[in-house]
Structure 1
Amino acid sequence: MRLRAALISLSKQGHDYSPCADALEEAGLKTSDDLLFTTSTSEQYARLPGGTLSFPEFAALKEDVSKFVAPHPLTGEEAYLLAMGTEAQRYEGLCGVPELDALLGGFGQYGVLEFSGGRESCKTLLAFHIVLRYLSSERKGKALWIDTSNSFNVQRALAVTRLLPGLGVGDALDRLAYSTCFDVDPALGVLDDIRQSIDLRGERVDTTTPRFIVIDAITPLLSKEISSVSSQGPPPRLPVE
């Protein structure tokens, strides 16, 4: 998680660390992983600009961030009841192809979906149908489309929307948020904004988070970390003797 987003969320809970975000980034601490899993606390503190925080304050910040990003434990019964409640509220995520919807039971029951295939194999078109069908049927529904290759086709989106029924079809595209991200960091920033929006919902602030988030496509974001011969990334570099 981006450290700046975590500090902003903590400031809403009474821990006003957000003014330190620039200094922490200057010291190379840009994410919660950088803060919690790299060097020791004393080494990190030594990299901070002078006068940013005292050492006890920095240690307290690190502890608060650790508690904030840590998963909250649940008993088996609590997890079961939560899953049942989520199941009851889940949108089916139909694509409009009866055979495919019958085979998979819709796409709304899965947390993460990956559409893979060759060029011009209608991966984006399938995502269009799922998302726009949802927006057309849910008048207050929202979705987010992250475009990593500047290939979003407005005319195609309009053409698909005109084919769909539903009470929300008139303003379906108005509720489809669009963001262009050509690198991992901007994409993480967009996702962190959604995380903050979810936090605000917990504080009873009136905000609607997107039901669907589409990243089209994921490969450009990860291509720098993937070698041409392996999806596992480049082999480790061994020291030369």
Structure 2
Amino acid sequence: MKSRKFLIAGNWKMNKTASDGVDLIKDIVAAVGPQTEVDVAVCPPFTGLESASKALEGSAIKLGAQNMHPKASGAFTGEISAEMLRSLFASYVILGHSERRQYFGETDAFINEKVTAALKNLLKPILCIGETLQERESGKTLDVVKTQLEGGLAGVDASNAVNIVLAYEPVWAIGTGKVATTEQAQEVHAFIRGWLATRFDKAVAGKMRILYGGSMKPSNAPELLAQEDIDGGLIGGASLEAKSFVDLVKAAMSAG
């Protein structure tokens, strides 16, 4: 049995109105709300955070956001601060998602500012890393992952590192029809854990959770979650429907 508790986090992306989100949360809470064997989080769009926070009251499920700005306040139209997220009782925030890097030009340095700001405000970052198809086919996977780790975790000390969740998401396995094998996923997760042991120490590396974010579904979850260094999933499409998301939580309960 792993010493790390599994985390299943749902990234709704740009889906669900506030009322749709409440309906989804009610179904999830009814099925797995009281359980504490597995950590569970839902990450709605900004517009759904407040209603989601209220819908989660009394359950063990945590609230997460999909992004935030590193500054505390100011003239940053359309942005949201860590303090704003904390005021809604958010526990997690997804940072450096491949879509933020690809479509909005986010750099490792900017993502690192967000990681630092999140930690300062007692938010747990879910820091995403991963390679594109071109990088995978060029044999650069581990180099890309290492660069993103070095940049994203710059200046983070060991005492704060244990509050960070990493999510390995092979960009080429998201919405492409290509699927990473269990062996490919575990190989990168093991590399990440080894790098963390060098960057911090073995004890810290052993406590940090590394999620898989490449199209985890109820059908492939048991095999993925059985791997030594895979500690849960950052779930996209399968988090938008209660049954599939609940099935993933139950798969993690069984794997634990």
TM-score, normalised relative to structure 1: 0.31
Structure with more contact order per residue of length (Cα contacts < 8 Å, sep ≥ 6): 2
TM-score, normalised relative to structure 2: 0.30
